[in-house]
């Protein structure tokens, strides 16, 4: 007679780290106006206006003019009039004019530190803005809006692999036995619906009562190919991304890899899929050996088994998040890396510092607007990226509420009816746009940011203020070293 005790799911092993939201700093009465320009008004006897609507919102007409020196001085009493004059009129790198934007045929503009003036008789909201930025000069440029992380790490950075790209969350859905295969294949597809190349990855997040407790990340598999090297004058081997079929097969049934992190992530994905399909749990790939002690391997195996039991019993809901990496174009990468310390870009990373030395970097996400153009093969590259808000709330990946699976129910009514449904998707892009209209690319969910109370307007994100972010305590967690 067997004396072995049957194991059951233990929710205590999946406790999320406690999160504390920092008290918001004083916000300014200003916003970032992301604008599809349909025309310019350039009278000789009055202020110039860019006319159009908010990107993705044809029903939200706007008119924007630029601040005068007096207006900026009033907005920023701590800034000298001389400095403002240098920025606007006499410096070596003065603000672009709307007449210049019109001459260049610019139809996508971002206006920073824009302040409401009035709603005119035609229903258009008028703003005055501190600074105009061209999002793209190519009229065929596409605009994507959604939750994203802007990754900017210079060659001389103390932590992080050098690079410049945007990591965009394309979709998130609760996984079931019926849809898990489809979600994995869709998420790891290396071409989009129009057959254009893309760089995909998939995150599996496990949620308990709407809170993310564990995460794993898988990428498209690589296979060897060859190309002719113009410098060496001979063929050379290169790695290229495999199809989704190959990537999913390697993830679910492939052998262990040389990467401990990959093996750990693969173990969790396999456990989720097996639990959903009511299949046996496979032996872990992450095992003792080398630098991995038996104790560490045992702890990992126990956590994987517990996750398996949680999903199988229905206590834990898995969520599949499809992600796309979009590299900056060569010229844009140089510009964004140079500007990476500016607050609206630096806010996308939380850098932990010990005794004055940076020791780790954690990616943060916010509602973001990205302008892309395409290479001749259709692959996208970013030419512009910015948070939608002047003072965005940044969140770590595990804190994002992306579907009903990762949305806690209301305490007053502990039912699934209170789980938030995914935000409606923006319409898919159609044919190449005319000069006056840029498409909102693909079907990225619109994200509503939490409101920030407006107070005194004496500070600006572009004069040294820091972005707002969620602060999380640093107690140990299974996915601390997973590179989100």
Question: Is residue 260 situated within a structural domain?
Answer: yes
Last-in-domain residue among 99, 129, 159: 129
Going from the C-alpha of 416 to that of each of 209, 310, 419, the distances in angstroms are: 10, 18, 5
Q: How many whole angstroms separate alpha carbon 172 and alpha carbon 452?
A: 26
85 and 226 together in one domain: no
Kindly tell me if the per-residue pLDDT of 229 is higher than 50. Answer: yes
Whose tokens are 């039912």? That residue is 415
Q: What is the pLDDT of residues 18-64, one digit of tens each?
A: 444 554 544 447 899 999 999 999 999 999 999 999 999 999 999 99
Whose tokens are 């908010």? That residue is 54
Kindly tell me if the per-residue pLDDT of 417 is higher than 80. Answer: no
Mean pLDDT (the chain, rounded): 84
What is the value of pTM for the model shown? 0.80
387 and 452 together in one domain: yes
160 and 248 together in one domain: yes
Question: Is residue 339 situated within a structural domain?
Answer: yes
* CB 50, CB 109: distance < 8 Å: yes
pLDDT in the model for residue 410: 67
* CB 43, CB 469: distance < 8 Å: no
Closest alpha carbon to 164 in 398, 356, 378, 370: 370
Question: Is residue 482 situated within a structural domain?
Answer: no
Choose the weakest-confidence range: 228-242, 366-380, 401-415. Answer: 401-415
Residue 186, token pair as written in the block? 């869709």
Kindly tell me if the per-residue pLDDT of 296 is higher than 70. Answer: yes
Last-in-domain residue among 65, 96, 129: 129
118 and 149 together in one domain: no
Q: At what angle do helices 180-187 and 244-253 cross, to 10 degrees?
A: 120
CA neighbours within 13 Å on the CB side: how many for 388? 22
105 and 163 together in one domain: no
Q: What angle do CA 47, 53, 58 make, to 5 degrees?
A: 155
Whose tokens are 């007053």? That residue is 412
Q: How many whole angstroms separate alpha carbon 144 and alpha carbon 446?
A: 10
Residues of the domain holding 394:
11-25+141-472
82 and 148 together in one domain: no
360 and 444 together in one domain: yes
Kindly tell me if the per-residue pLDDT of 245 is higher than 90. Answer: yes
Q: What angle do CA 433, 437, 442 make, to 5 degrees?
A: 65
Q: What angle do CA 303, 10, 285 make, to 5 degrees?
A: 15
Q: Which residues contact residue 416 at a Cβ distance below 8 angstroms, ignoring those fewer than 6 apart?
A: 404, 409
Q: How many whole angstroms separate alpha carbon 181 and alpha carbon 39?
A: 47
Last-in-domain residue among 63, 97, 129: 129
Question: Is residue 189 situated within a structural domain?
Answer: yes
pLDDT in the model for residue 4: 65
- Is residue 480 very low, low, confident or very high in pLDDT (cuts 50, 70, 90)? very low
Question: Is residue 448 situated within a structural domain?
Answer: yes
Q: Which residues contact residue 11 at a Cβ distance below 8 angstroms, ignoring those fewer than 6 apart?
A: 208, 310, 315
Find the mean pLDDT for residues 152-179: 95
Q: What is the pLDDT of residues 339-376, one digit of tens each?
A: 999 999 999 999 888 877 888 899 999 999 999 999 99
Going from the C-alpha of 329 to that of each of 163, 177, 364, 375, the distances in angstroms are: 11, 40, 22, 10
* CB 97, CB 131: distance < 8 Å: no
Residue 55, token pair as written in the block? 């990107």
Question: Higher confidence at residue 3 or residue 395?
Answer: 395
Question: Is residue 477 situated within a structural domain?
Answer: no
193 and 117 together in one domain: no
Residue 462, token pair as written in the block? 């572009």
Q: What is the pLDDT of residues 108-144, one digit of tens each?
A: 999 999 999 999 999 999 999 999 999 999 989 999 9
Kindly tell me if the per-residue pLDDT of 395 is higher than 80. Answer: yes
63 and 210 together in one domain: no
312 and 284 together in one domain: yes
Number of domains in the chain: 2
16 and 41 together in one domain: no
Question: Is residue 105 situated within a structural domain?
Answer: yes
* CB 371, CB 135: distance < 8 Å: yes
Question: Is residue 383 situated within a structural domain?
Answer: yes
Length of the chain as a residue count: 484
88 and 169 together in one domain: no
């Amino acid at each position: 007679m067997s004396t072995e005790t049957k194991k059951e799911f233990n929710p205590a092993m999946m406790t999320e780290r406690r999160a504390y939201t920092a008290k918001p700093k004083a916000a300014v009465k200003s916003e970032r106006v992301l604008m599809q320009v349909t025309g310019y008004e350039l009278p000789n006897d009055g202020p110039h206006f860019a006319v159009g609507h908010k990107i993705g919102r044809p029903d939200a007409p706007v008119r924007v003019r630029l601040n005068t020196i007096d207006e900026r001085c009033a907005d920023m009493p701590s800034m000298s009039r001389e400095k403002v004059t240098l920025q606007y009129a006499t410096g070596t790198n003065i603000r672009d004019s709307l007449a210049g934007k019109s001459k260049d045929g610019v139809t996508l503009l971002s206006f920073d530190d824009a302040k409401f003036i009035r709603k005119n008789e035609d229903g258009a909201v008028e703003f005055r803005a501190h600074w105009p930025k061209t999002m793209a000069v190519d009229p065929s440029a596409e605009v994507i809006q959604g939750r994203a992380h802007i990754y900017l790490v210079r060659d001389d950075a103390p932590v992080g692999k050098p690079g410049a790209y945007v990591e965009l969350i394309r979709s998130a859905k609760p996984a079931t036995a019926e849809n898990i295969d489809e979600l994995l294949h869709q998420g790891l597809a290396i071409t989009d619906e129009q057959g254009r190349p893309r760089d995909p990855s998939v995150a599996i997040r496990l949620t308990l009562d709407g809170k993310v407790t564990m995460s794993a990340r898988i990428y498209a598999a690589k296979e060897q190919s060859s190309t002719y090297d113009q410098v060496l004058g001979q063929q050379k081997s290169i790695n290229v991304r495999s199809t989704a079929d190959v990537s999913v097969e390697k993830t679910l049934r492939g052998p262990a890899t040389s990467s401990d992190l990959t093996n750990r992530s693969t173990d969790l994905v396999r456990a989720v899929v097996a639990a959903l399909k009511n299949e046996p749990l496979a032996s872990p790939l992450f095992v003792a050996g080398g630098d991995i002690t038996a104790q560490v391997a045992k702890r990992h195996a126990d956590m994987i088994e517990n996750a398996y039991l949680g999903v199988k019993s229905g206590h834990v809901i898995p969520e599949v998040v499809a992600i796309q990496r979009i590299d900056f174009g060569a010229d844009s990468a140089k510009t964004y890396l140079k500007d990476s310390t500016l607050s609206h870009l630096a806010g996308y990373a939380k850098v932990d510092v010990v005794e004055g030395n940076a020791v780790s970097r954690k990616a943060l996400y916010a509602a973001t607007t990205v302008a892309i153009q395409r290479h001749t093969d259709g692959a996208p590259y970013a030419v512009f990226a910015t948070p939608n808000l002047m003072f965005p709330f940044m969140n770590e990946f595990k804190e994002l509420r992306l579907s009903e699976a990762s949305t806690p129910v209301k305490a007053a009514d502990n039912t699934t009816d209170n789980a938030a449904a995914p935000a409606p998707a923006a319409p898919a892009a159609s044919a190449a746009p005319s000069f006056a209209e840029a498409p909102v690319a693909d079907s990225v969910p619109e994200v509503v940011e939490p409101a920030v109370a407006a107070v005194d307007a004496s500070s600006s994100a572009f004069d040294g203020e820091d972005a707002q972010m969620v602060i999380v305590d640093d107690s140990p967690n299974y996915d601390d070293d997973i590179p989100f």
